Amino acid sequence: MEQARQAATFDSTLLTHMHYLNREENASSRRAAFARVETALGITDTMQLPHLHTGLDRRELYLEGLRRGRAIVTDMLQHNHTHFVNLTERSQLTNATPFGLNFLMFRRTINLQGTAEQKRYWLPLIDRMEINGCYAQTELGHGSHVRGIETTATFDSAAGEFVLNSPTVTATKFWPGGLGLSCSHAVVAARLVTRGVDHGVHWFVVQIRDNSDSTPIKGVTLGDLGLKMAYNGTCNGYAHFNLLRVPGSSLLAAHTQVLPDGAYVRNDAGAQENLAKQSYATMLEVRRVVIHWAAFGLAQPLTVATRYAVVREQGALMFSQPTVPELAILEYKTQHQRLLTLISQAYAILFASMELDDCFEEHQQEKREGKIGRLSFIHAVSAGLKAWATQAVAAGAEEARKMCGGHGYLVISGLPEMVATACAAATFEGENYVMWQQTLRYLFKQIGALQAGRMLDSDMTESLSGYQQWLQVEGDKSSPSHLLLDSNHLSEPEKLLKIFQHHFHRLLSAAHSFYAQQTRTSSPAEAWNASLPRLLPAAHSYIEYLVLHSMQRRVAVIGKAQPSLLPVLSRLTELFALTTITNPGPSFTSISFAEDRILTADHFPQMRARIDELLVALLPDIIALTDAWDFTDASLCSALGCRDGNLYERLMSWTKQLPVNQQDLAREAWTIEGGIGEFLRGDITSGTKSRL
Amino acid sequence: MEQARQAATFDSTLLTHMHYLNREENASSRRAAFARVETALGITDTMQLPHLHTGLDRRELYLEGLRRGRAIVTDMLQHNHTHFVNLTERSQLTNATPFGLNFLMFRRTINLQGTAEQKRYWLPLIDRMEINGCYAQTELGHGSHVRGIETTATFDSAAGEFVLNSPTVTATKFWPGGLGLSCSHAVVAARLVTRGVDHGVHWFVVQIRDNSDSTPIKGVTLGDLGLKMAYNGTCNGYAHFNLLRVPGSSLLAAHTQVLPDGAYVRNDAGAQENLAKQSYATMLEVRRVVIHWAAFGLAQPLTVATRYAVVREQGALMFSQPTVPELAILEYKTQHQRLLTLISQAYAILFASMELDDCFEEHQQEKREGKIGRLSFIHAVSAGLKAWATQAVAAGAEEARKMCGGHGYLVISGLPEMVATACAAATFEGENYVMWQQTLRYLFKQIGALQAGRMLDSDMTESLSGYQQWLQVEGDKSSPSHLLLDSNHLSEPEKLLKIFQHHFHRLLSAAHSFYAQQTRTSSPAEAWNASLPRLLPAAHSYIEYLVLHSMQRRVAVIGKAQPSLLPVLSRLTELFALTTITNPGPSFTSISFAEDRILTADHFPQMRARIDELLVALLPDIIALTDAWDFTDASLCSALGCRDGNLYERLMSWTKQLPVNQQDLAREAWTIEGGIGEFLRGDITSGTKSRL
């Protein structure tokens, strides 16, 4: 392992600093926070079986989550930092703990939807953690589609109260993190009804448990959803409201209010629109957090799989002598291909996430100056990037797990939980198939602007430059051939970006023509539906273009600050581009680059040859590239993936420490009624003739 | 749901009969066995939360597996059938229970490697379940690569005994199913050493626990591996041998024996070769079981996802009016595409598995007639088909889970366990990346035969017909264009098969040229390694060709027996072919059909248009196609996927029955030391100023 670590062409700590806003002090302060929390939790001894892996039941998993959540929140409060607002000490999203949504969504909703007075009242309580809140939007029968929400909040002007009610089984609030057992308060999405009129969904701050003793408030039934694939350290829950009365001040009233006489009033001209935009803003912020997490969600299992590949010996090459010793699995070419391709994707997500954050910062700055023009671009991009990144992390985490063979199937390898955690993100905070459509809808609007001769959004001028000529062609039928590729230039960043842009333009044009064709005989909604299988790949190809663009830009910036990092990151970027072109993407949302007319059958072998060269050049850096993510051993919680590479002793030691091996479970299994003993004594089969 | 069921164009029970060797009585007898076992287990009430989903810990999961394993074995013994030899009452591989490997691998090994006398002694004990055996091959440091095994069995001629020993930590037997807690005996793979000479790996039958009270035999340390992603109803375990003495008769001696004086004797001319071939045969039989299981492993989550899609309403189409009610998710085109594509894959696996079984039966018959010529073909095909099918089931199961949104993430949806179960098969019984290489190596040998002017294996003449012309070309450089496609014929089965064959020929030729090129400057082993990223897609494309061929043949046979099934199955076959061409396959083992010169950019939109037509035609049959797999509600164990479609009431009811909602866990969480109460009272934050 040390040998593999020494082989690097660059200093991995320099790259680590780049991950934390290019600042060494951020990286150090984060490390110090990790050290304090891990020490407080008593999880720094890597030869000790982590409590998390002792085979816990539902109750124990939750209590362990509580213990960890408390440790990170306490550290944040005592040391005055924000390292764990978005990611926990295990680099999971903080909604993996019972306290995670208090800051991530509960606070944000009140901050965006509350009046100045409401904020003055609630925010300090939240910041001091004197209340713990959750975000209650989805219902048993209704997901992220807000219009479907059934919960009602009916204004009773006589009492000056709202009456919260779940009129049906499907109206039961279902899924909110922390709702089941841990929260005193919730922001609740409910249809505001006053004077008999339904004004649509609004937000209400509601106390759901007695602060002092956890008893649910009368009128609320609460419960936990039981075990999930992962995130069992928190209590995703359900809540049924039975005519619960809450004060009139519960309505978050920044944009709309209900007067004492029951009149419904919009505070500002575009109140409804602002409400929607502000809701967008909450979702957008959480989506940015999810995208950022995705980079680490993929990086974690890759760190484990890479370290495992260095130490694990397995099999021999076909045609090698029977006497040769087994080969480290990192020696296999397919392992280089799989590991380094996925490592390039993890870096691509990280860099794209940083670029998006910068863009968002600029937007915030511009907003303070009174402009709001970039929000729809950022919304469209964050939706698509969320879908693309979470798809990549789910598939890549599972691929990394498979690369650890049978041992990767053990819970103590840490990989099953990483994979299960990764898989959730494709669904939550916007189901990916919905996300893609939002990106595409924005792109269609931009095409509409082009067709009408209007200005494109400023963020789109570069990516749609040259698209004019696609307005003339009929879908797939023919394609502009402005891009003549010769094989000498396939490695140039500009050329690679052009290939991605052409792919995106072609698929966007094909999707748009198809849709336009459908609208001749169908309603826009039906046409949209019929076109979906073409629309998604167009959105997918745009995001791939954007990711490559972001990665190239970011690497250039880093390379200027730290020239020693430029060679390895440039190789990684080229590898990302070439493998994206040559390796088929996920089945249902992408279409092969090989269908593009500009790439001939000759280009592909050339690209594969170049990939081979890049893999050879990157291989010495493979451990450094994973070390640079700077995961602590305790955060990986993996018998296979510790930094020291001491795989087998740790695996055997953790296995022997398992509670199942302290009990005499075998004796129980043999001696209980109906147990193995009865079988072996022949009590069951006596007198039975078997033909098995 | 009933409406969706009535829409079918065919009788789903007729198709069910086809799955069980075309025989109604097999299907009925299987159904009766399921009914008896499910009644005995008390799991027929679908409104009752299954015990499996109550949040069990390691011990409880194992004891539940024991209870279920006992029920199915008892039913087999009492009713004299074999329905559960390969698949359990949940349509899982039987190695999901503590008894599964007794028949599947323990018995088979003794049957193949034992002398007549050994078989006379052991087989009746196994068949009456008076012993329970497991298959102890893999070690902590060594997977399926038999040559790496470290465990030794040293012959002590003075005592007439073998001494079993694990010389290192990595020699610890690790992973065998049933080994940890449940087995009295094991067949153990160990290096036979006699007179100081290591004769390589041989098989020994060894008692590991006292039959009457479960105590490990002195000299053996046993334990469980703890929780895995799935298969927690059995005890994959470890065993460390410390100079354990076993009788000389423990050596399974059909092919080699050790005389009392320690002489090592081969019983027949090709003893070593026969030993290897027989080991092949065991692996091959188990692989056939895995392939057959894979069809059902994919079918299960698809049954759930399809039923969910019929009932679940979510969102609205883009551009639809705000007032329209939410839409059943089955209405979305992408849902048709995903569900039906995957359903076509599940049927493709099933039909390919049946064809392979038939081929194997013919081979067995021929072997009895003294021929053995087909074994290497069957071995190569079963390896590749195992890799292809298990890759498809792992990816498809997870896709099906994602199609159930957030609810698919709940353990009570049944989907997480289906996915976790599906994921294992890509690794066990031969890691897929090793499997692909075995297929490819066989194909290279066939090319060698062609080049040398020798006969091809009879099973290969059709699939390699026309390959002669590829011998002349230089890899990807140019390609024979004997296949002129016009778009009118894209739907003809023969034409589709030709496209698959061309794809396979081209990739095989490219792989072979690349490898040949490498051997000019490298050893065969190094050349093989350097070529791996090209070799795997060639093997992959051969298997895809074979699967389509098998599916077409099988559908033709079924169509003759039951003409009413022909239209739907023909559509499904065409959909399988077209979606395989147009949808990119998994990244690392496939190369897009779009790189083939015979398919022009124009063909793809035409194929996608045809796919749209097929989806429309197949949609009314979607419930019938999944009903035909004939899963019982109890076997699916899913709150989302019961036959009646009563989704929400069941989900809410099961959730409320969870033990976590019977305890007052919230109170515990709030009142324990370090609990939520301390936070909310401000005990932690008093005096701390936060800037969060």
pLDDT 10s digits, B379-433: 999 999 999 999 999 999 999 999 999 999 999 999 999 999 999 998 888 889 9
State residue B598's pLDDT score: 87
Q: Does A536 sit within 8 Å of B588, measured CB to CB?
A: no
Phi then psi dihedrals of residue B30, to 5 deg: -65, -45
Query: Global pTM?
Result: 0.95
d(CA B233, CA B225): 12
The structure tokens listed for B523 are 């050893």
State residue B629's pLDDT score: 95
Q: Which of B57, B175, B524 lies at the smallest CB-CB distance from A55?
A: B57
State residue B50's pLDDT score: 96
Respond yes or no: is residue B285 known to be catalytic: no
d(CA B255, CA B113): 7
- On the question of pLDDT at B686 being above 60, the answer is no
Q: Is A473 left (phi over 0), alpha (psi -120 to 50) or beta?
A: beta
C-alpha distance from B230 to closest chain A C-alpha (Å) = 8
**B609 in A contact zone (CB under 8 Å):** no
- State whether the Cα torsion B592-B595-B597-B600 is positive or negative: positive
Lowest-confidence segment of A210-219, A360-369, B89-98, B675-684 by average pLDDT: B675-684
In this prediction, residue A692 has a pLDDT band, given cuts at 50, 70 and 90, of: very low
Q: Does A225 sit within 8 Å of B655, measured CB to CB?
A: yes
Note the residue count of chain B: 692
**A564 in B contact zone (CB under 8 Å):** no
pLDDT tens-digit profile of B12-71? 999 998 877 656 678 889 999 999 999 999 999 999 999 999 988 999 999 999 999 999
- On the question of pLDDT at A276 being above 90, the answer is no
Q: Which of A148, A661, A670 lies at the smallest CB-CB distance from B213?
A: A670
Lowest-confidence segment of A27-31, A522-526, B43-47, B314-318 by average pLDDT: B314-318
Contact A290, A225 (CB under 8 A): no
**B473 in A contact zone (CB under 8 Å):** no
Question: B60 to chain A: which residues are within 8 Å by CB?
Answer: 57
β-pairing, A161-165 with A197-207?
unpaired
Contact A235, A241 (CB under 8 A): no
Question: B319 to chain A: which residues are within 8 Å by CB?
Answer: 523-525, 528
State residue B102's pLDDT score: 81
Question: B311 to chain A: which residues are within 8 Å by CB?
Answer: none
d(CA B464, CA B454): 13
- On the question of pLDDT at A339 being above 50, the answer is yes
Nearest C-alpha neighbor of A645 from the set A332, A299, A303: A303
The structure tokens listed for A400 are 């990394």
d(CA B439, CA B4): 42
State residue B578's pLDDT score: 97
What angle do helix axes A271-311 and A415-424 make, rounded to 10 degrees?
Answer: 160
Q: Does A214 sit within 8 Å of B671, measured CB to CB?
A: yes
State residue B286's pLDDT score: 87
Give B251's strand partners. Answer: B204
User: What's the mean per-residue pLDDT of chain B?
Assistant: 91
* Residue B392 host element (H or E): helix B375-402
A133 to chain B: closest CA residue: B680
d(CA B406, CA B291): 30
- On the question of pLDDT at A282 being above 80, the answer is no
**B375 in A contact zone (CB under 8 Å):** no
- 3-state secondary structure at position A614: helix
**B424 in A contact zone (CB under 8 Å):** yes
Distance of CA B291 to the CA centre of its chain: 5
Nearest C-alpha neighbor of B447 from the set B433, B437, B457, B438: B457
In this prediction, residue B238 has a pLDDT band, given cuts at 50, 70 and 90, of: very high
Nearest C-alpha neighbor of A302 from the set A353, A350, A352: A350
Q: Which of B130, B672, B688 lies at the smallest CB-CB distance from A680?
A: B130
C-alpha distance from A557 to closest chain B C-alpha (Å) = 30
**B662 in A contact zone (CB under 8 Å):** no
A392 to chain B: closest CA residue: B587
d(CA A153, CA A163): 5
Is residue A285 packed enough to be buried (19+ CB in 10 Å), middle (13-18) or exposed (0-12)?
Answer: middle
**A586 in B contact zone (CB under 8 Å):** yes
d(CA B102, CA B135): 8
Q: Which of A85, A223, A669 lies at the smallest CB-CB distance from B661?
A: A223
CATH of domain A100-267: 2.40.110.10
- On the question of pLDDT at B481 being above 80, the answer is no
- 3-state secondary structure at position B137: coil
Q: Which of A228, A432, A680 lies at the smallest CB-CB distance from B411?
A: A228
Contact B665, A62 (CB under 8 A): yes
- On the question of pLDDT at A580 being above 60, the answer is yes
- 3-state secondary structure at position B201: strand
**A124 in B contact zone (CB under 8 Å):** no
State residue A472's pLDDT score: 80
Question: A148 to chain B: which residues are within 8 Å by CB?
Answer: 313-315, 326
In this prediction, residue A164 has a pLDDT band, given cuts at 50, 70 and 90, of: very high
Q: Which of A66, A528, A660, A667 to mutate to test the interface with B (most CBs of B within 10 A)?
A: A660
C-alpha distance from B468 to closest chain A C-alpha (Å) = 22
CATH topology (fold) of B100-253 = Butyryl-CoA Dehydrogenase, subunit A; domain 2 (2.40.110)
d(CA B181, CA B120): 27
Give B139's strand partners. Answer: B142, B173
In this prediction, residue B369 has a pLDDT band, given cuts at 50, 70 and 90, of: confident
Nearest C-alpha neighbor of A590 from the set A598, A580, A599, A600: A580
Question: A575 to chain B: which residues are within 8 Å by CB?
Answer: none
Q: Residues 6 or more apart from A161 whose CB is under 8 A from it?
A: A155, A245, A246, A247, A248
In this prediction, residue A223 has a pLDDT band, given cuts at 50, 70 and 90, of: very high
Residue whose token pair is 């919304």: A379
- Known binding residues of A are 138, 177
Q: Does B659 sit within 8 Å of A326, measured CB to CB?
A: no
Distance of CA B470 to the CA centre of its chain: 34
**A412 in B contact zone (CB under 8 Å):** yes
β-pairing, B185-194 with A256-258?
unpaired
Question: B55 to chain A: which residues are within 8 Å by CB?
Answer: 57-59, 226-227
Q: Does B433 sit within 8 Å of A427, measured CB to CB?
A: no
pLDDT tens-digit profile of A186-209? 999 999 999 999 999 999 999 999
What angle do helix axes B375-402 and A375-402 make, rounded to 10 degrees?
Answer: 140
Contact B617, A110 (CB under 8 A): no
Lowest-confidence segment of B79-93, B513-527, B678-692 by average pLDDT: B678-692
Q: Which of A182, A590, A671 lies at the smallest CB-CB distance from B669?
A: A182
A170 to chain B: closest CA residue: B648
The structure tokens listed for A267 are 């505070």
Determine the straight-line distance between the first and last CA of chain A, rounded to whole angstroms. 50
- On the question of pLDDT at B690 being above 50, the answer is no
- On the question of pLDDT at A22 being above 80, the answer is no
In a 13 Å sphere around the CA of B187, the CA atoms on its Cβ side amount to 26
Q: Residues 6 or more apart from A557 whose CB is under 8 A from it?
A: none
| DSSP letter (8 states) at residue B87 | B
ipTM reported for the complex surpasses 0.90: yes
Contact A598, A483 (CB under 8 A): yes
In A225-355, the DSSP E strands lie at 237-241, 244-247, 256-258, 264-266
The structure tokens listed for A171 are 């109206």
In this prediction, residue B689 has a pLDDT band, given cuts at 50, 70 and 90, of: very low
Q: Residues 6 or more apart from B75 whose CB is under 8 A from it?
A: B33, B36, B37, B40, B81, B84
Exposure class string for A419-454: b at 16+ Cβ within 10 A, else e: bbbbbbbbbbbbbbbbbbbbbbbbbbebbeebeeee
Give the number of A-B residue pairs with CB atoms closer than 8 Å: 487
* Residue B649 host element (H or E): helix B647-657
Question: B529 to chain A: which residues are within 8 Å by CB?
Answer: 317, 331-333
Please report, for residues A249, B25, B69, B83, B133, the alpha-carbon distance to residue B75 in angstroms, rounded to integers and kept in the order given.
Answer: 64, 18, 10, 10, 19
Q: Which of A139, A175, A317, A613 to mutate to test the interface with B (most CBs of B within 10 A)?
A: A317
Please report, for residues A381, A433, B665, the alpha-carbon distance to residue A545 in angstroms, rounded to integers and kept in the order given.
Answer: 11, 19, 49
Average pLDDT over residues B454-464: 94
C-alpha distance from B14 to closest chain A C-alpha (Å) = 28
Question: B318 to chain A: which residues are within 8 Å by CB?
Answer: 437, 441, 524-525, 528
State residue A690's pLDDT score: 37
- State whether the Cα torsion B460-B466-B471-B473 is positive or negative: negative
The structure tokens listed for A642 are 């510790």
C-alpha distance from A315 to closest chain B C-alpha (Å) = 5
- On the question of pLDDT at A476 being above 70, the answer is no
* Residue B244 host element (H or E): strand B244-247
Active site residue: A429, A492, A544, A649, which one? A429
Question: B671 to chain A: which residues are within 8 Å by CB?
Answer: 213-214
pLDDT tens-digit profile of B554-569? 999 999 999 999 999 9
Average pLDDT over residues A221-242: 96
Domain boundaries, given as residue ranges, for chain B: 100-253
Q: What share of chain A is helix, strand, coil (3-state, %, to 5)?
A: 55, 10, 35
- State whether the Cα torsion B502-B507-B510-B512 is positive or negative: negative
User: What's the mean per-residue pLDDT of chain A?
Assistant: 91
**A195 in B contact zone (CB under 8 Å):** no
The structure tokens listed for A149 are 């929400």
In this prediction, residue A556 has a pLDDT band, given cuts at 50, 70 and 90, of: very high
Contact A398, B216 (CB under 8 A): no
State residue A474's pLDDT score: 58
- On the question of pLDDT at A368 being above 90, the answer is no
User: Per-residue DSSP letters for A205-224?
Assistant: EEE-B-TTT-PBPTTEEEEE
State residue B482's pLDDT score: 53
In this prediction, residue B684 has a pLDDT band, given cuts at 50, 70 and 90, of: low
- On the question of pLDDT at A172 being above 90, the answer is yes
- State whether the Cα torsion A131-A136-A140-A144 is positive or negative: negative
Phi then psi dihedrals of residue B189, to 5 deg: -85, 120
Q: Does B55 sit within 8 Å of A226, measured CB to CB?
A: yes
Contact A611, A579 (CB under 8 A): yes
State residue A283's pLDDT score: 80
pLDDT tens-digit profile of A108-149? 899 989 999 999 999 999 988 899 999 999 999 998 778 889
User: Per-residue DSSP letters for B95-117?
Assistant: GGSTTHHIIIIIIHHHHHHS-HH
